[in-house]
Structure 1
Amino acid sequence: MSPRYVHKLFERDATTFSAFVLTCRLWRALQMLKNARFATMTINAIAFECGFNDLSYFNRTFRRAYNATPSDIRDAALRARL
């Protein structure tokens, strides 16, 4: 499979490979923040585990995607478990 072919596949969905990867990483971080198994991990550690190398970029893109900060999501999940 050529890079151009992959590019065309994403083009049909009006997205890019980079946008797809970002969406997957953000979704994984969201799931980890909601999951009690990861409650002891810092948000920074979760961001790095999901492939982000810059915490500021992670926080900015997360907030844009979910209209909430990672801390907000974690706090809401904690309250729901109580």
Structure 2
Amino acid sequence: MTLTATSGTWLIRAIGATRDGAAVARERGVRAARLVAIKADVIAHAGERDLTLAAVAARHRLSPRSVQLLFEFEEHTFSQFVLKQRLARAYRMLTDPRHAGTTVSAIALTAGFGDLSYFNRTFRRRYGAAPSELRATIAKQ
């Protein structure tokens, strides 16, 4: 076994991978790092209503299709990830006492939703209650 500068290379040599196998492993590492960076970008910009696949791809100097492919390895789409982040942000705001005076529609807009009925529908589907019901439950506690 030969130790080299990177643990990934060391691991590859320890299990006896071929040169092609080493290239595949490095590519997976690059792919994973790109996906982490893109997810961080989405989380940072989730509140922006104009967050699009094309905008994120451009910021990372990738094609929109390349970004889609990165998410396909995770078995969900870019749009599903964005929606999940926006819903989570709205949930945090609805359950945070500091936002008790903020209307549900203002929270939806802040979380990146442009359509209140779509927000209510997807929120109920994800959390099993309407945003106003969740807020009322939290207020009773």
| TM-score, shorter chain, exceeding 0.5 | yes
Q: Tell me: higher relative CO, structure 1 or 2? Use CA pairs within 8 A at least 6 residues apart.
A: 1
5+ residue gaps, structure 1 = none
Residue 107 of structure 2 corresponds to which residue in structure 1?
46
Residue 13 of structure 1 corresponds to which residue in structure 2?
74
Residue 137 of structure 2 corresponds to which residue in structure 1?
76
Cα RMSD after superposing both structures: 1.0
- Which one has the largest radius of gyration? 2
5+ residue gaps, structure 2 = 1-61
Q: Distance in 1 between matches of 2:111 and 2:93?
A: 9
- Is 1:62 the counterpart of 2:129 in the alignment? no
Q: Distance in 2 between matches of 1:65 and 1:32?
A: 15
Identity, in percent, stands at 54
Q: Distance in 2 between matches of 1:9 and 1:75?
A: 39
TM-score (norm 2): 0.54
Worse-superposed segment, 1-10 or 55-64: 1-10
Aligned letter for 2:135? R
Tell me how far 1:79 sits from its aligned partner.
Answer: 1.4
Deviating runs (4+, > 4 A) in structure 1? none
